[in-house]
Amino acid sequence: MSYALNTGMQSDSNIEVHRYYGGAVLLVSFLALVIQAFLHRFGRWSGLVDLPLLVTIYFGVSRRNPVSGLFLGAGIGIVQDALSHDNPIGLYGIAKTLVGYLASSVGARIDTEHPISRFFLVFLFFHFHQGVLAVTERVLLNQSLPFFSPLLLMNSLASAALAVPLFALLDRLRRTS
């Protein structure tokens, strides 16, 4: 019994937990929120990407701590709710809290450094985020948001495509051990 327990601990310790320079997580989160708040001025294409979601996924997967991923997602989501005039406060908070927690849990179990795995993770987490938003709006607000549409598919592909170079850029903020 103890042999299986020790083997499990060894496999978890092989995945590196990344550290970042002081204030990097807060600064990147702040910039993502500000940029997202002002993107709508540049046309309708700005709705294709959810930068705060990408930041939540990146730091959740990289830091590999479910509690910090949960708090980061909650903070980013609530501030995004406060900055958007369309949604009641709490919708993005709930969705991004769950995404941050799951991204950290997934990051603790598998290696997510390869661009293809990052693409598919963002694609899946985007749809999970939209599903949580749809369920929350249906249950709490009695409104119907579609679970899936061609526009959501296009948005998820655009977000995943942007995530690959964005995550490579954010990798430069890592502190070397």
Question: Tell me, what CATH number does 72's domain have?
Answer: 1.10.1760.20
Written as six digits, the tokens of 30 are 């702040």
In a domain? residue 2: no
In a domain? residue 4: no
Q: Which domain holds residue 22?
A: 17-175
Q: pLDDT tens string for the chain (177 positions)?
A: 333 333 344 444 456 777 887 899 999 999 999 998 888 777 776 678 899 999 999 999 998 899 999 999 999 999 999 988 777 889 999 999 999 999 999 988 887 889 999 999 999 999 999 999 999 999 988 888 788 889 999 999 999 999 999 999 999 998 876
In a domain? residue 46: yes
Question: What is the domain count for the chain?
Answer: 1
Helix crossing, 24-38 with 51-63: angle to 10°? 160
Query: Which DSSP category does 46 fall into?
Result: G
Contact 120, 110 (CB under 8 A): no
**In the prediction, which pLDDT does 26 show?**
95
> Of 166, 141, 135, which Cα lies nearest the Cα of 50?
166
The answer to whether the predicted template modeling score (pTM) of the entire model surpasses 0.85 is: yes
Element (H, E) at 20: strand 19-20
Distance from CA of residue 173 to its chain's centroid? 17
In a domain? residue 120: yes
Q: CA-to-CA distance for 169 and 164, rounded, in angstroms? A: 9
The 3-state DSSP class for residue 123 equals: helix
Element (H, E) at 40: none
Q: CA-to-CA distance for 105 and 71, rounded, in angstroms? A: 13
In a domain? residue 103: yes
In a domain? residue 111: yes
Element (H, E) at 50: none
In a domain? residue 38: yes
